[in-house]
Amino acid sequence: MTEPLHALLAPRSIAILGSSADFRKVSGRPLKHLLDKGYAGKIYPVNPRYETIGELRCYPNVGAIESEVDLAIIVLPASEVLNAVRELGAKGVPAAIIFSSGFSEMGDAGRQLEREIVASARASGVRLCGPNCLGLINAFDKVLATFSQYADADTPSGPVGFVTQSGAFGTAIAALARRRGLGLGYFVNTGNEADLNFAEIMAEVIRDPRIKIGAGYIEGLKNGDDFVALADAAMELGKPLVVTKVGRLGAGARAAASHTGSLAGDDVVFDGVARQHGVIRARNEEHMLDIVEVLAHCDLPQGAGVGLLTQSGGAGVLMADRAQELGLSVPVLQPDTQAALQKVIPGFGAVGNPVDVTGQFVADPNLLLESVKLMLADPNVDVGIVWFQLMEAHVDKLVKVLVEIRAQVSKPFVVCWVAAPEAGVKALRENGIAVLRGAEPAVDAVAALVQYAQVRRNWLARRDERKAISVPALDVPHAQVVSTMEGSRLLTQLGVPHARSLLATSADEAAKAARTLGYPVVLKIESPDILHKTEAGGVILKLTDDETVKQAFATIIARARQYNANARIEGVIVQAMAGGDTEFVIGLQNDPVFGVVLMAGLGGVLIEVLRDVAFRKVPLTPSEAEDMLNDLHGKAVLAGVRGQPPRDRAALTQMICAVSRLGAALGPRLATLDLNPIMVGEKGAMAVDWLLMLEDAGGAAQHAPKAASG
């Protein structure tokens, strides 16, 4: 039997269950497309109503087919699908695509039926794509197992593998790719993903050596581990993954939930994990295709220096602005580059970067050739953007000179051609030159290229870092709310710096603890039933002698009783005052898609008002922790504001790594951990408050509501 995913994507034989002789119908279109486009394998229509369809014998059922079948396309009413899958199992068919709808997208009854189908398929070794999907195309091998409109015209093969969770949107994206001359080697719509999910199918797609880039449209992931495995495999293969994922905000999530059976997951977590694993996230469909086109035609640049060459100063400004917003560098060209440019460019042009060659290049194409070459030869330029407009009358001349440039330079460049004549765009693309339609989209796509190149360089340099992470075995408490002292024990075991703390059960013990720790100290109520300590009046700061400590002990106990008469009061925590003046927050939570993830952000207004946080999957390498800090909009605070010295970033990255190992060690037992605040100074960082909540030892991890600390 063929390996099921290979059978799905590159079948040697296809059975169509419910095949119709009417080629206009959904049930007739796969056969039509397979015949029209010249599929070379065997095709077996299955439908008891026909003896033959066209020149093909039509079978009453799958069992009647005498040869092996790699792939079955199921175009039957929902009620007949379960039985069909059973027949496939009996026949030993390794893979099936279910077009039919009427399953989990239709509520509980559909969901139940879908589950039964998956159970039957798993029992007999059949892997499923769908249900409720448009099917797939393998354009290399003319496998047209789809009824998507996209197949109604040419479906040229090419280095892009496209997998989409949405049929309608995915069809549009595929059509847009075709208009750009971007060949889709694969087009797959995964539908309800009852069995095979987006990541599993994309992983198989990029395994094909004819595929160089994976492009994906995601509404919600079913399995975070599969996605991470996909991302890592893509990085290993050196094949970029570009995805657009909808559901960034609340109302979006509402619509996503109504559309598919999947949980939208927490988008900010997806974003963090994608960054962590080098997946390029595009804002929308055009942005994705811009990036794919640039990746398809350009080598990876060696750095972030962009050379901008235009015939309009304004376009240069627009691109320079955008480049800087996206963290690219627009280096002033070196004096000798400028001097050389000055010899070829008219006096009213500009040679600094952006380079303005003026409209003169129309009369003198050599001017364009020479100036692009000079700009790209500048040692600080890693990638170029050449901007011009319209030029109905000069298409051939322009194409010729750009193709010449492409042949003569080694650094990557793209063309931004505004209001371009179609013939010019087509000719450039056929010659392997990426063409963008606007200045900002051009810079956006080049930025993605530069960032991917950087991510890949980092990945190559850091690939051993991950192996060095050691996750300890822990003696995990059984309580749901872990006590301060138990939490302290775990933090100590993992090497997470935190304020020294002692539990006191009497005023005298408190004073003794304070002397042990050294004044000044803080007193905090300790009770598994009082999580909002400040709200309960259970925190008193800056105590400087035995007498005030004893008074504070009594005050805190009294307030706690008043706040919650039934609270189990275990005593009062006496804690040394922490140094450092910049607040930071690190948290852990159990994400339903990705498992334990770590959140980091600067405290105060940045986290409370601007939600300026970064997420990553645990455990983290030091470089990944550094990346997290760089993701924060307010990161300049760590560099020192208004002449202050920088805060201790190294201490923070170490702390992030240590907490991430704690998260990995706790695994499904973790509900949430908040280290809030962490005080960061010029030297060192120290958690002042920690609240660890666990899941029952027996139960599965659920996404628990985040509890506030302090």
Binding to a second copy, residues 574-603 (CB under 8 A): 602
Compute the least distance from the CB of residue 174 to a second copy, in Å: 8
Cβ distance to a second copy smaller for residue 261 or 571: 261
Helix pair angle (198-207, 224-237), 10° resolution: 20
Contacts of 363 (CB under 8 A, 6+ apart): none
Interaction residues for a second copy, span 401-430 (CB under 8 A): 418-419
What angle do the packed helices 622-631 and 649-666 form, to 10 degrees?
110
Q: Cβ 29 to a second copy, closest distance in Å?
A: 12
Out of 23, 50, 140, 169, point to the residue binding a second copy (CB under 8 A): 169
Kindly tell me which residue out of 64, 460, 610, 697 binds a second copy, with binding defined by CB under 8 A.
Answer: 610
State yes or no: residue 324 binds a second copy (CB under 8 A): yes
CA distances in angstroms from 345 to 332, 335, 340, 374, listed in the order given: 17, 15, 9, 11
Contact string (CB under 8 A) for a second copy, positions 440-459, x = contact: x-------------------
What minimum distance in Å lies between the beta carbon of 421 and a second copy? 10
464 CB contacts (<8 Å, ≥6 apart)?
none
704: which 2 tokens? 């628990």
* Interaction between residue 516 and a second copy (CB under 8 A): no
Q: Is 608 in the site for a second copy (CB under 8 A)?
A: yes
Distance in Å, CB of 576 to a second copy, minimum: 25
Q: In this complex, which beta carbon is closest to a second copy, that of residue 138 or of residue 165?
A: 165
Helix (H) or strand (E) holding 682: none
CB nearer a second copy, residue 288 or residue 491: 288
Tokens at residue 554, please? 């009594």
Question: Are residues 359 and 387 in contact, defined by beta-carbon separation less than 8 angstroms?
Answer: no
Containing 455, the helix (H) or strand (E) segment is helix 439-462
Nearest to 542 by CA among 520, 523, 525, 516: 520
The strand pairing partners of 96, in sequence order, are 72, 128
Range in contact with a second copy (rule: CB under 8 A) among 232-240, 250-258, 292-300, 456-464? 250-258
Task: Convert 584-631 into a string of H (helix), E (strand) and C (coil).
Answer: EEEEEEEECCCEEEEEEEECCHHHHCCCCEEEEECCCCHHHHHHHHHH
Taking CB under 8 A as the rule, does residue 389 contact a second copy? Answer: yes
Q: Indicate whether 321 belongs to the interface with a second copy (CB under 8 A).
A: yes
What residues contact residue 429 under an 8 Å CB cut-off, 6+ apart? 180, 181, 293, 297, 435
Closest among 444, 520, 426 to 179, alpha carbons compared:
426
Q: Of residues 622-651, which lie at the interface with a second copy (CB under 8 A)?
A: 633-634, 636-637, 641-642
CB nearer a second copy, residue 50 or residue 169: 169
Q: Does residue 439 touch a second copy according to CB under 8 A?
A: yes
The one among 22, 116, 325, 581 contacting a second copy by CB under 8 A: 325
Q: Look at residues 552, 558, 520, 527 and name the one whose alpha carbon lies nearest to residue 539.
A: 552
Binding a second copy by CB under 8 A: which of 159, 528, 604, 667? 604
Q: Nearer Cβ to a second copy, position 85 or 173?
A: 173
**Least Cβ distance, residue 273 to a second copy (angstroms):** 19
CB 321 to a second copy: min, Å: 4
Coil/strand/helix, residue 471 = coil
Stretch that binds a second copy, among 115-123, 170-178, 398-406, 463-471 (CB under 8 A): 170-178
> Which residues have CB under 8 Å from 197's CB, separation 6+?
190, 221, 222, 223, 226
Q: Judged by CB under 8 A, which of 80, 116, 299, 392 binds a second copy?
A: 392
Interface characters, 138-167, with a second copy (x: CB under 8 A) = -----------xx-xx-----------xxx
Six-digit token string for 411: 């650094």
Q: Using the rule CB under 8 A, is 312 a contact of a second copy?
A: yes
Secondary structure of residue 694 in the 3-state scheme: strand
Helix extents (H) in 76-157: 78-91, 108-124
Residue type, position 92, single letter: G
Based on CB atoms, which residue is closest to a second copy, 317 or 485? 317
Segment near a second copy (CB under 8 A); pick from 363-371, 437-445, 557-565, 673-681: 437-445
Cis peptide before 677 (omega within 30 of 0): yes
| 300 versus 362: smaller Cβ distance to a second copy | 362
* Amino acid occupying residue 613: V
Which range binds a second copy by CB under 8 A, 86-94, 98-106, 203-211, 521-529? 98-106
Which of residues 321 and 546 has its CB atom nearest to a second copy in the complex? Answer: 321
What is the C-alpha to C-alpha distance for residues 67 and 85, in angstroms, rounded to an integer? 18
3-state class (DSSP) for residue 396 = helix
The string of DSSP letters for 488-507 reads HHHHHHHT--B--EEEESSH
* CA end-to-end distance (rounded Å), the chain: 60
* Cα of 361 vs its chain's centroid, Å: 42
Residue closer to a second copy, measured from CB, 325 or 696: 325
- Give the interface size with a second copy as a residue count (CB under 8 A): 87
Using the rule CB under 8 A, give the single segment among 224-232, 371-379, 433-441, 686-694 that binds a second copy.
433-441
Q: What residues from 106 to 125 belong to the interface with a second copy (CB under 8 A)?
A: 106
Question: Based on CB atoms, which residue is closest to a second copy, 393 or 565?
Answer: 393
Q: Which of 247, 301, 424, 538 binds a second copy (CB under 8 A)?
A: 247
For helices 365-377 and 335-344, angle between their N-to-C axes, nearest 10 degrees? 180
Choose among 374, 382, 427: nearest CA to 402. 427
Nearer to a second copy, 318 or 573 (CB): 318
The correct pick among 64, 109, 339, 390 for binding a second copy (CB under 8 A) is 390
Report 254-293 residues binding a second copy (CB under 8 A): 254-256, 258-260, 283-286
What is the Cα–Cα distance from 661 to 470, expressed in whole angstroms?
A: 8
186 and 211 Cβ atoms separated by less than 8 Å: yes
Helix boundaries (H) for 62-212? 78-91, 108-124, 167-179, 198-207
Q: What angle do CA 88, 91, 93 make, to 5 degrees?
A: 55
Residue of 179, 457, 463, 561 that binds a second copy (CB under 8 A): 179
Footprint of a second copy on 550-579 (CB under 8 A): none
Q: What is the CA radius of gyration of the chain?
A: 31
Residues 6+ apart with CB under 8 A from 257: 263, 264
Residue range at the interface with a second copy (CB under 8 A); choices 102-110, 293-301, 591-599, 650-658: 102-110
Give the Cα separation of 437 and 445 in Å (integer).
Answer: 11
C-beta closer to a second copy: residue 547 or 581: 581
Under rule CB under 8 A, residue 253 binds a second copy: yes
- Residue among 217, 361, 413, 615 that touches a second copy (CB under 8 A): 217
Indicate which single residue of 125, 159, 181, 252 sits in contact with a second copy (rule: CB under 8 A): 252
Binding a second copy (rule: CB under 8 A), the pick from 305, 316, 384, 571 is 316
Minimal distance in Å, beta carbon 446 to a second copy? 15
Name the residue nearer to a second copy (CB basis): 172 or 377. 172
Which is nearer to a second copy, 102 or 159 (by Cβ)?
102
383, 411 contact by CB (below 8 A): yes
**Under rule CB under 8 A, which residues in 334-373 are in contact with a second copy?**
347-348, 350, 352, 354, 356, 359
The residue (of 242 and 657) whose beta carbon lies closer to a second copy is 242
Q: How far is the CB of 245 from a second copy (least distance, A)?
A: 9
